[in-house]
Structure 1
Amino acid sequence: MHQPTTTPRPSIYYRYEVFEPWLPSAHPAQERQKVVIVGSGPAGMVAALELARHGVPSVLLTAELQFSQGSRAICFTRRSMEILQQVGVADRMTAGGLPWRFGNSFYRGQRVFRMEAPHSEDDRFFPILNVQQQSMEEYLHDACRAQPLIDVRWGNQVVAVTQQGDHAEVRIDTPDGEYTLTSDWVVDASGGRSVIRAAMDLQMEGASYEGFFVICDIRIDLPLPTERLAFFDPEWNPGNTVLMHREPHGIWRVDYQLPKGETPEQALQPESLKARIDAQLASIGHGGLPWEMDWCSVYSARTLTLPDYVHGRVIFAGDAAHLLPIFGVRGANTGFQDAQSLAWHLAFVVKGLASPALLANHSAERVGAAREIIDEGGKSTRFMTPPTHGFQLLRDAVLSLSLSQDFVRPLYHWRTSRPHEYSHSALNDPGDDNALFTEGPAHGAPPRNVRLGADDFLLDHLGGAHGAGFELLYFTEAAELPAALREVIDAARARGVPLRVIAIGAARPVAGADATLADAEGRCRQRYGVSASGGAYLLRPDQHVCARWLALDATRLQAALNHALPQ
């Protein structure tokens, strides 16, 4: 019988709540489910919330009775915040987080590179926001608990999953004994130690690196700004790297690489932790300041992915699907994008708007994203933790030259996580005007935000509380949509396709559009490369562009919809 701990996790800044377990004896009748999600981490909860936006219910299973221990993921990108805005938790993240956009690399006491992440007045969110994962999980859980389509079950540990053609049987252990759930689909978002993936004998492809890092959260009052700090080859840790981040609640993250030959068990001894943190604080001129340990752990850098995320009725997401290096804040941020993509593809299949073959597109796109991250993140990983003598020589040469030569300093860039552009997606319209545009988001890219007012942005009007589905951004100053376009839109809606039309440019409401946004200064036109009325963008339910036109007519819109949702 599964017996999760009921003792609150220790923390000097976060008060853990222990939730009551969901017990089968109190719910004897178990109906067949549409979707069961295994794992209540970032990817699992965002997947549940996104499915609910599409009107699809889910059961969310978590083996524990409280949120994850330690700060874990702390850096969330602008695109992640845009995704979290869709599920209604961005405001709480912003209120409790620390925004930043600069990163600094130091060698021998000299700053040799300063990274500046792009940020403009058209961006609602900063490039990066630091929030501890426990807080982020709390915000997501509160949103899940408020959503009637999500059934959160604490203390439910998945023991086995058996597939039976058109459904799966999920065997679950609880403090009350075992029970079985039948579900059309199972989403495994249970993390890197997925028992489902192991039981199915699925092998990841890629590389693991030998280097280990200790990750520590300490409470200390450091008079330093919220910026990423990276120290290469410090005197107290020769040949290795140290990273520092400011977190909310007076906490600082210190990551340092272990010398070769030292085991994780040795590194986590209190005397070893104290000596290393004291040495790092001394090296930055703040030795002697009092500090207190909150949490520590050890991790290694890995660049691995499943070659396919869909296996029958089981779909893998987040760390259950791939293990990515943390350099460049890639873990949870990639999991959010997995969840957003998975939810709309799966929702359209569940609702009968597409065949299960649509899920192959989700897998192809997200595996492609993981491989892109592996390629980019691998470069950062090899620089941070050289895997061979040759890479060590190259890294040492860069470090040495960077003291006097500007041209090598960009090699310190950590290649921050960015949203993958599905440039080669099978859903992109081959007959649109994508190649003719000179500006704006191209095929497969997420939308660009545009400031419309003091606290009003374009993305505030897309998705979220406004609904979930395809969105047509139609640039016009006319009083109404063309009749032929309205016929195509009405026909799509009649067969159940959620399609929302946002008219951009007109000063007054446009008949036939669901919303009208004025563009008196032409900012939207400029950002989207549209110079004349009739230009348009078609956004998928995950907001990525699947078609764009300099001039849209009914025939071309129908063709794009047919291509994005083949029958």
Structure 2
Amino acid sequence: MNRPFKPYPFSPRRHEGVVPPLVDGCDPLRRPVAIVGGGPVGMTLALALARQGVRSVLIEADDSVCTGSRAICISRRSLEIFKRLGVVQGFLQKGLPWAGGRSFYRDAEVFRFAMHHDDEQSLPPMINIAQYQIEQLLLDEVERHADLIEVRWQTRVTGLEQGPAQDSRGEPVRAAGATLALRTGNTAWRMHADWVVACDGGRSTIREALGLKLTGTTYEGRYVIVDIDLNSTRATERLAYFDPPSNPGSTVLVHKQPDNVWRIDYQLRDDEDPEAAVKPENVLPRVQSVLDSMGETGEWSPIWITVYKANALTLERYRHGRVLFAGDAAHLVPIFGVRGANSGIDDADNLGWKLACVVNGVASPHLLDSYSDERVFAARENLSYGMKSTEFMAPPSFAFTLMREAVLGLAGRHAAVRALINPRQTHAIAYTRSPLNEAAADPAGSFSRGPAPGAVLPECRLKRMDNGSSVDIHLTDLLEPCFTALRFGAHADPAQEHAWQELQATLTRQGIPFKAITLAADKTSQAARPTVLDHAGRLHDMFDATPGTVYLIRPDGHVLARWRDGSAADTQRAISAALTI
């Protein structure tokens, strides 16, 4: 089969590698934060820092956004993060939304799943969008923040030293920080930074420089990843084929992407040579067989072919002195369940506000230990789900193969076993064991339901009231990269209202981002200032809220604390406890 390859329908801009003015081979400008790796995680972190007024420099080895087939799915949780960073519209315009999928055993459908999606949601459960498109949308926003985000293209890290930075005479410059050894073209140079964040992927140079190792499980099974150009009106959904006629004895996954690009992943059998398996003469007939079995008869062309091997690995800690790790540099998660890029974006969201508070001098550096605690916990949750999915998608042993065949064989007739086929798509993880939760005043039995400390807020439709008019909004529209107090009902006590106003003024003077929002159950309970109306009472019910209830939300959208009858003083103590942990 002879089919000419097509390029991706995307032409990235190329960027020059420019060396800043140097003094004795060193950039004399010390950076608050140096981010190594300009992929989705690094750029999300840079934008999160910029929203808090923190300068950063992105160090990227390539000359453009990525090429090839990498991450292809963005979750609702990641879209919520992009919403707070002001970049979500581009993703919604470009991405293909989907809410479920189907699984087939041989030629019969055996499982169908749907992710949570009702009228209260403002964002789809998932969108399909290629990583090069993800990176370009983020880069466009990065360039709009050129006053706070500097990008050093075609620049590689060749070494890292922590401790006192030194000038050319060996005299300490400052007591803490890190020095990066860099190379741009033929020029070797150094950069000093107060903090370094490694977002440089699975082959992290920073991780290697510190002598750190990922631990966990590496799977032997391999998948061939093929991107093709195919114009089809088929709906966007996740398709999984087990032991299909097109690939007997293994598995095929199919995802539709924007711009007529389709991603097809198929498992190699144990007796197949991976090097031979990626040769076009071996790949193209199998792709044609997959398309034939799907009933796709349109013309198609190959774009990209590569091989993937699943890993379930993590560092034990994500903070090492002045160096922090995020994304694939910190953990490698199997692609099944689309947790890779999404978990890295969640890393950046968690780290962004904490590192900004430390750099801005309003929090103890110990706050960054909570980043490691929470995100290592999240990684282990993701790895647990990812390993279960991997062991079903690509059985690592004869026993797992027998189990899978039994489940698939029974699923067509017995609904009880179908849940075992569930791909366990990525979801928001609650930090149930976070050290920050200790600041919460949530006595046992105070709330019968509602998001507990560490949980992510659910979505809900609301109305914003101002001067007698109302605008339809969602709960996530109220969240910004700041601490947010959700006050249910307005106190009639003027002293209480004055205390909240004083709290706002105090935190503003201290440089701590904060806002308080009053949530009324009906129009008659509005405060004098603009109020958010829970017109259906749904949010009050979901949060088990009564007049006086306060939920304090962290800048990353997780609950920090909640009180049945909360006050400005309670809120101030909880924020102070979190920042000085």
TM-score (norm 2): 0.91
Hey, what's the Cα distance between the residues in 2 that align with 1:430 and 1:66? 44
Structure 2 counterpart of 1:229: 239
**Alignment partner of 1:376 out of 379, 385, 394:** 385
| 1:81-140 CA distance string (max 9 Å, x none) | 000111221101101111010110000211100001110111111101111111111110
**Is the contact between residue 434 and residue 549 of structure 1 (CA under 8 Å) also seen in structure 2?**
no
Does residue 402 of structure 1 match 2:411?
yes
Structure 2 counterpart of 1:154: 153
**Is the contact between residue 23 and residue 176 of structure 1 (CA under 8 Å) also seen in structure 2?**
no
Structure 1 counterpart of 2:552: 538
Shift of the 430–509 alpha-carbon distance from structure 1 to 2, 3 Å rule, reads closer
Hey, what's the Cα distance between the residues in 1 that align with 2:509 and 2:13? 46
Hey, what's the Cα distance between the residues in 2 that align with 1:159 and 1:267? 35
**Is the contact between residue 158 and residue 183 of structure 2 (CA under 8 Å) also seen in structure 1?**
yes
Does residue 210 of structure 1 match 2:220?
yes
Hey, what's the Cα distance between the residues in 1 that align with 2:11 and 2:499? 58
Shift of the 176–24 alpha-carbon distance from structure 1 to 2, 3 Å rule, reads farther
Secondary structure in 2 matching 1:20: coil
Hey, what's the Cα distance between the residues in 2 that align with 1:51 and 1:208? 34
The one-letter code of the counterpart of 1:99 is: P
The one-letter code of the counterpart of 1:80 is: S
Does residue 553 of structure 1 match 2:567?
yes
**Is the contact between residue 434 and residue 442 of structure 1 (CA under 8 Å) also seen in structure 2?**
no
Secondary structure in 2 matching 1:445: coil
Consecutive unaligned residues in structure 2, runs of 5 or more? 165-175, 464-470
Q: How much has 1:516 moved relative to structure 2?
A: 2.8
Structure 1 counterpart of 2:286: 276
**Alignment partner of 1:471 out of 473, 484, 492:** 484
Q: How much has 1:171 moved relative to structure 2?
A: 1.1
Kindly report which structure 2 residues correspond to 1:217-296, keeping only aligned pairs within 5 A, or say none. 217-286=227-296, 289-296=298-305
**Is the contact between residue 227 and residue 304 of structure 2 (CA under 8 Å) also seen in structure 1?**
yes
Structure 1 counterpart of 2:350: 341
**Alignment partner of 1:495 out of 510, 516, 521:** 510
**Alignment partner of 2:535 out of 520, 525, 532:** 520
**Is the contact between residue 433 and residue 548 of structure 1 (CA under 8 Å) also seen in structure 2?**
no
**Is the contact between residue 64 and residue 156 of structure 1 (CA under 8 Å) also seen in structure 2?**
yes
**Alignment partner of 1:16 out of 9, 12, 18:** 12
Hey, what's the Cα distance between the residues in 2 that align with 1:199 and 1:373? 26
**Is the contact between residue 102 and residue 227 of structure 1 (CA under 8 Å) also seen in structure 2?**
yes
Hey, what's the Cα distance between the residues in 2 that align with 1:542 and 1:115? 29
Secondary structure in 2 matching 1:561: helix
Q: How much has 1:399 moved relative to structure 2?
A: 1.4
Deviating more after overlay: 344-353 vs 322-331: 344-353
| 1:138-179 CA distance string (max 9 Å, x none) | 110010011121001111111111111511001111125121
Does residue 352 of structure 1 match 2:349?
no
Q: How much has 1:301 moved relative to structure 2?
A: 0.9
Structure 2 counterpart of 1:6: none
Q: How much has 1:538 moved relative to structure 2?
A: 0.3
**Is the contact between residue 536 and residue 552 of structure 1 (CA under 8 Å) also seen in structure 2?**
yes
The one-letter code of the counterpart of 2:562 is: R
Structure 1 counterpart of 2:462: 452
Q: How much has 1:554 moved relative to structure 2?
A: 4.1
**Alignment partner of 1:56 out of 54, 57, 61:** 54
Hey, what's the Cα distance between the residues in 2 that align with 1:435 and 1:92? 43
Hey, what's the Cα distance between the residues in 2 that align with 1:120 and 1:477? 30
Shift of the 26–272 alpha-carbon distance from structure 1 to 2, 3 Å rule, reads farther
Secondary structure in 1 matching 2:425: coil
Structure 2 counterpart of 1:562: 576
**Alignment partner of 1:462 out of 470, 479, 483:** 479
**Is the contact between residue 161 and residue 180 of structure 2 (CA under 8 Å) also seen in structure 1?**
yes
Deviating more after overlay: 432-441 vs 479-488: 479-488
Hey, what's the Cα distance between the residues in 2 that align with 1:307 and 1:198? 15
Q: How much has 1:565 moved relative to structure 2?
A: 2.0
Does residue 412 of structure 1 match 2:421?
yes
The one-letter code of the counterpart of 2:311 is: R
Q: How much has 1:435 moved relative to structure 2?
A: 4.5
Hey, what's the Cα distance between the residues in 1 that align with 2:22 and 2:274? 43
**Is the contact between residue 27 and residue 189 of structure 2 (CA under 8 Å) also seen in structure 1?**
no
The one-letter code of the counterpart of 2:228 is: I
Structure 1 counterpart of 2:172: none
Q: How much has 1:510 moved relative to structure 2?
A: 4.1
**Alignment partner of 2:199 out of 161, 185, 189:** 189
Deviating more after overlay: 64-73 vs 369-378: 64-73
Secondary structure in 2 matching 1:482: helix
Structure 2 counterpart of 1:44: 42
Structure 2 counterpart of 1:78: 76
Hey, what's the Cα distance between the residues in 2 that align with 1:501 and 1:163? 40
Hey, what's the Cα distance between the residues in 1 that align with 2:19 and 2:226? 36
The one-letter code of the counterpart of 2:542 is: R
Q: How much has 1:561 moved relative to structure 2?
A: 2.3
Question: Alpha carbon RMSD of aligned pairs, Å?
Answer: 2.1
Q: How much has 1:357 moved relative to structure 2?
A: 1.2
Q: How much has 1:452 moved relative to structure 2?
A: 2.4
Kindly report which structure 2 residues correspond to 1:166-185, keeping only aligned pairs within 5 A, or say none. 166-175=176-185, 177-185=187-195
Hey, what's the Cα distance between the residues in 2 that align with 1:251 and 1:10? 11
**Is the contact between residue 434 and residue 547 of structure 1 (CA under 8 Å) also seen in structure 2?**
no
TM-score (norm 1): 0.93
Structure 1 counterpart of 2:64: 66
Hey, what's the Cα distance between the residues in 2 that align with 1:296 and 1:455? 46
The one-letter code of the counterpart of 1:124 is: S
**Alignment partner of 1:35 out of 27, 33, 36:** 33
Q: How much has 1:68 moved relative to structure 2?
A: 0.6
The one-letter code of the counterpart of 2:534 is: D
The one-letter code of the counterpart of 2:149 is: I
Q: How much has 1:553 moved relative to structure 2?
A: 2.7
Shift of the 29–377 alpha-carbon distance from structure 1 to 2, 3 Å rule, reads closer
Structure 2 counterpart of 1:98: 96
Hey, what's the Cα distance between the residues in 1 that align with 2:7 and 2:118? 37
Does residue 321 of structure 1 match 2:330?
yes
| 1:440-499 CA distance string (max 9 Å, x none) | 222111122222257522211220xxxx32111111245765334444444444433222
**Is the contact between residue 237 and residue 259 of structure 1 (CA under 8 Å) also seen in structure 2?**
no
| 1:421-444 CA distance string (max 9 Å, x none) | 011211113432575323322211
| 1:395-431 CA distance string (max 9 Å, x none) | 1111111132211111110111111101121111343
The one-letter code of the counterpart of 1:545 is: V
Hey, what's the Cα distance between the residues in 2 that align with 1:555 and 1:432? 15
Q: How much has 1:199 moved relative to structure 2?
A: 2.1
Hey, what's the Cα distance between the residues in 2 that align with 1:330 and 1:447? 20
**Is the contact between residue 474 and residue 501 of structure 1 (CA under 8 Å) also seen in structure 2?**
yes
**Is the contact between residue 475 and residue 534 of structure 1 (CA under 8 Å) also seen in structure 2?**
yes
Hey, what's the Cα distance between the residues in 2 that align with 1:559 and 1:376? 36
**Alignment partner of 1:199 out of 183, 203, 209:** 209
Hey, what's the Cα distance between the residues in 2 that align with 1:346 and 1:434? 32
Q: How much has 1:555 moved relative to structure 2?
A: 4.3
Hey, what's the Cα distance between the residues in 1 that align with 2:394 and 2:285? 22
| 1:185-244 CA distance string (max 9 Å, x none) | 000001101111112111112101001111111111234210100000112322211000
Hey, what's the Cα distance between the residues in 1 that align with 2:552 and 2:484? 6
Hey, what's the Cα distance between the residues in 2 that align with 1:431 and 1:93? 38
Q: How much has 1:566 moved relative to structure 2?
A: 2.3
Does residue 504 of structure 1 match 2:519?
yes
Structure 2 counterpart of 1:364: 373
Q: How much has 1:251 moved relative to structure 2?
A: 1.2
